[in-house]
Amino acid sequence: MTVDEIRELINLACETGIAELEVQRGENRVRIRRAGFAAQQEIVVAQQSYPAAMAPAAPAPAAAEPPQEPKSADTNLVLVKSPIVGTFYEGPSPGAPPFVRVGERVQPGKVLCIIESMKLMNEIEAETAGIVESKFVMNGQPVEYGEALFGVRAV
Amino acid sequence: MPLDIVRIRAAFPGRRIDYYRSIDSTMRAAAGLETGAVVLAGEQTAGQGRLGRAWHSEAGAGVYCSIVLKPAPLLTLALGLAARSAILDASGLTCDLRWPNDLMLADKKVGGILVQAADGHAIAGIGINVDQTAFPPEIASEATSLRLQWGRPPGLPSSTDILLALLPAIDRFLHRDPASILRLFAEASSYASGRRVTVRQPDGAIEGTTAGLDLSGFLIVRKDDGTDTLVLAGGVRASGS
């Protein structure tokens, strides 16, 4: 895919006013997500290497707006990130109470959520002791590799 | 028919194979065991399905098994292919694979696979309906067994026969490279492309036609408006079912 083609896609996204556009051509995938009036582009070249359990080769479909943005400069806030692309579940089954609520104190090893990828259920555990200060994704939402799920205030 | 655990253990010397005549869940029993360990049960009183659903586990009627594995690329697709291969070898019946790994005969589910990953291990739970002649009303329209599909009672493979084929098949398929797993899945599954499906997701259902898998093994569903959606989890059903 050429730069001109990508530019054309950005123009198309801006002209039509759509929030997000994803195009795959061969091994190249381009996703353009509009934030306000600024267009942002992300290019992921699909790879055959598979770090960890699953490949982060494919970006997740359009996600709902997260409840709030992760804080980046706060050194005491530990971000729990998704190790894979998948679907976020806050509890063990639909209708069940969530594994953890904002404001709750957690210890290392406490299960915080499940990320499902192709019927592989990954339990995501707290790695540090602290208080869950933020939850950045909603139940059932697709998440990407490395996407922040929780903010845990280390204590 | 009860499992012939002596025969199974003899076929895999040196491998840890725990057997319970009755247990709540083989998944629970397998947690914390070493890689390669196998947990088998004659029946499960609380067999686990996806997202907290139950897995019907009638005594002596099926394969109820959990295996501790190392996480691997495309693991759940490989497990579906392995189970399909084992059923074919033991019974001659060819299952369809409903993405990612439901084992289907005559558009009904004959087996299911769930993987739970934690602490660097992946525990694969495999349930295969072998000898059931009927199912509870709530799942009767979508479940079947090898016996119900076999049509020739003499010679029906036992759960032991299936397991003897299943464990080596899993080892074989887990050693395949991702590209060949994707290719084999595309060959084995009528759901891989061109199939009209409904995908149940937490925020509602989408409908479209399957358009292959991406390189990570996610299912591409092309909606009628021409846009593609990548299905990350499960919940794929043939439209109209």
pLDDT score of A62:
45
Domain boundary, last residue among B163, B187, B211? B187
**Beta-carbon contacts below 8 Å between A and B:** 109
**Residue range of the domain that includes B182:** 5-187
CB contact under 8 A, B116 and A85: no
Instruction: Count the domains in chain B.
Output: 2
Residue A61 CA: distances (Å) to CA of A33, A80, B81, B130 = 11, 21, 27, 38
CB contact under 8 A, A118 and B76: yes
Q: What mean pLDDT comes out for the span B62-87? A: 96
Residue B188 CA: distances (Å) to CA of B88, B92, B104, B109, B158 = 12, 15, 11, 15, 24
Query: Is the separation of the CB atoms in A119 and B100 below 8 Å?
Result: yes
Q: At B105, is the pLDDT very low, low, confident or very high (cuts 50, 70, 90)?
A: very high
Which pLDDT tens digit goes with each residue over B132-141?
888 888 888 8
Task: Give the whole-angstrom CA distance, residue B99 versus residue B109.
Answer: 12
Which residues of chain A are at the B interface, by a Cβ-Cβ cutoff of 8 Å? Answer: 22, 24, 27, 46-48, 50, 52-58, 60-61, 64, 85-87, 89, 92-94, 96, 116-123, 125, 139-142
Q: Which two tokens stand for residue A126?
A: 């707290």
pLDDT score of A40:
32
pLDDT score of A27:
53
Q: What mean pLDDT comes out for the span B54-78? A: 90
CATH of A77-154, one of 3.40.50.150, 3.30.70.2080, 2.40.50.100, 3.30.200.20: 2.40.50.100
B89 and B160 in a single domain? The answer is yes
| Among the listed residues B146, B143, B101, the one whose alpha carbon sits nearest the alpha carbon of residue B125 | B101
In angstroms, what separates the C-alpha of B61 from chain A's closest C-alpha?
24
Sequential pLDDT tens for chain A (155 residues): 666 666 665 655 544 444 554 555 555 555 555 443 333 333 333 333 333 333 333 344 444 445 555 555 677 889 999 999 999 999 988 888 999 999 999 999 999 999 999 999 999 999 999 999 999 999 989 999 999 999 999 98
In angstroms, what separates the C-alpha of A115 from chain B's closest C-alpha?
9
**Pairing outcome for strands A120-125 and A111-117:** antiparallel
CB contact under 8 A, A117 and B201: no
Domain harbouring B29, CATH code: 3.30.930.10
| Among the listed residues B99, B231, B207, the one whose alpha carbon sits nearest the alpha carbon of residue A60 | B231
| Among the listed residues B235, B57, B62, B60, the one whose alpha carbon sits nearest the alpha carbon of residue B136 | B57
> Distance between alpha carbon B42 and the CA centroid of its chain, in Å?
18
pLDDT score of B188:
97
CB contact under 8 A, B233 and A118: yes
Burial of residue B126 (number of CB atoms within 10 Å: 0-12, 13-18, 19+): buried
> Distance between alpha carbon A78 and the CA centroid of its chain, in Å?
16
B137 and B217 in a single domain? The answer is no
Residue A150 CA: distances (Å) to CA of A67, B104, B109, B168, B236 = 11, 38, 37, 40, 29
pLDDT score of B160:
95
Residue B210 has pLDDT above 70, yes or no: yes
In angstroms, what separates the C-alpha of A30 from chain B's closest C-alpha?
13
Which residues of chain B are at the A interface, by a Cβ-Cβ cutoff of 8 Å? Answer: 50-53, 71-73, 75-77, 99-101, 113-118, 122, 178-179, 201-203, 214-218, 228-230, 232-234
Query: Is the separation of the CB atoms in B133 and B151 below 8 Å?
Result: no
Domain harbouring B208, CATH code: 2.30.30.100
Compute the mean pLDDT over every residue in chain B, rounded to the nearest whole number.
92
Task: Give the whole-angstrom CA distance, residue A145 versus residue A83.
Answer: 6
